[in-house]
Amino acid sequence: MKIPPVKGTRDFYPADMAVRNWMIDGWKKVSLRNGFEEYDGPIFEYLKMFQLKSGDEIVEQLFSLKDRGGRELAIRPEITPTLARMVNQKISSLPKPIKWFSVPRLCRAERPQRGRLREFFQWNIDIIGVDDVLADAETIFCALDYLQEVGLTPNDIVVKISNRKMLAAILQSIGISQGELEPLYAVLDKRDKLPQEAFEEMLTKQVGDENKRTLILKLMTVESIEQISSVVELSKTAKESVDELGRLFELLDVMGAGDFCVFDIGIVRGLAYYTGIVYEIYDKESELRAIGGGGRYDNLLKQFGGPNIPATGFGVGDCVLAILLEEKGLLKPKPQELDYFITFVSNITFNDKEGNIQSTPEDEMVKLTAKLRRLGLKADFSYKLTESLSKKLKEASTRNAQKCIIIGEEFKDNQLSVKDMATGQQELVDINKFLAEVKLQSR
Partner RNA sequence: GUGAAAGUAGCUCAGUUGGUUAGAGCACUGGAUUGUGGAUCCAGAGGUCGCGGGUUCGAACCCCGUCUUUCACCCCA
Which residues lie near RNA (CB under 7 A)? 2, 4, 6-8, 50, 54, 58, 61-62, 77-78, 80, 108, 110-116, 186, 193-194, 269-271, 289-290, 293, 315, 345-347, 384, 386-391, 393-394, 396-398, 406, 408-410, 417, 419-424, 426
**HEC profile for 308-367?**
CCCEEEEEEEHHHHHHHHHHCCCCCCCCCCEEEEEEECCCCCEECCCCCEEECHHHHHHH
Closest separation in Å from C-beta 116 to RNA: 6
Q: In whole angstroms, what is the distance from residue 223 CA to residue 228 CA?
A: 8
Q: Which is nearer to RNA, 58 or 174 (CB)?
A: 58
Given the complex with RNA, which of 92 and 423 has the nearer CB atom? 423
Backbone φ, ψ for residue 330 (5° rounding): -110, 5
Q: Rounded to 5 degrees, what are φ and ψ at 254? A: -55, -40
Query: CA 79, CA 81: separation in Å to the nearest integer?
Result: 6
Please, what's the b/e burial string for 312-336 (b: 16 or more CB within 10 A of its CB; e: otherwise)? bbbbbbbbbbbbbbeebeebeeeee
Select 51 or 148, whichever has its Cβ closest to RNA. Answer: 51
- Nearer to RNA by Cβ, of 75 and 232: the residue is 75
Output 85 or 239, the one with its CB closest to RNA.
Answer: 85
Count Cβ atoms within 10 A of the Cβ of residue 125 and give its class: 0-12 exposed, 13-18 middle, 19 or more buried: buried
Cis amide leading into 97 (omega within 30): yes
In degrees and rounded to multiples of 5, residue 351 shows phi and psi of: -110, 160
CB of 12 to RNA, least distance (A): 14
Distance CA 342, CA 370 (A): 11
| Residue with Cβ nearer RNA (205 or 374) | 205
Nearest to RNA of 112, 258 (CB atom): 112
In terms of CB distance, is 218 or 394 closer to RNA?
Answer: 394
**Least distance from C-beta 404 to RNA, angstroms?**
7
Residue 161 β-bridge partners: 263, 279
- Beta carbon of residue 83, minimum distance to RNA (angstroms, whole number): 11
Query: Among residues 80 and 241, whose Cβ is nearest to RNA?
Result: 80
**Between 253 and 387, whose beta carbon lies closer to RNA?**
387
CB of 1 to RNA, least distance (A): 9
Quick one: 59 or 174, whose CB is closer to RNA? 59
Residue 216 Cβ vs RNA, minimum distance, rounded to whole Å: 19
How many angstroms separate the Cα of 40 from the Cα of each of 24, 201, 250, 281, 330? 14, 44, 33, 24, 28
CB of 184 to RNA, least distance (A): 13
Give me the least distance between CB of 162 and RNA, in Å please: 13
Phi-psi region of 347 (alpha: psi -120 to 50; beta: other; left: phi over 0): left
When the beta carbons of 242 and 403 are compared against RNA, the nearer one is: 403
Beta carbon of residue 154, minimum distance to RNA (angstroms, whole number): 23
CB of residue 8 to RNA, shortest distance in Å:
5
User: What's the min distance (Å) between Cβ of 266 and RNA?
Assistant: 12
Q: How far is the CB of 50 from RNA (least distance, A)?
A: 6
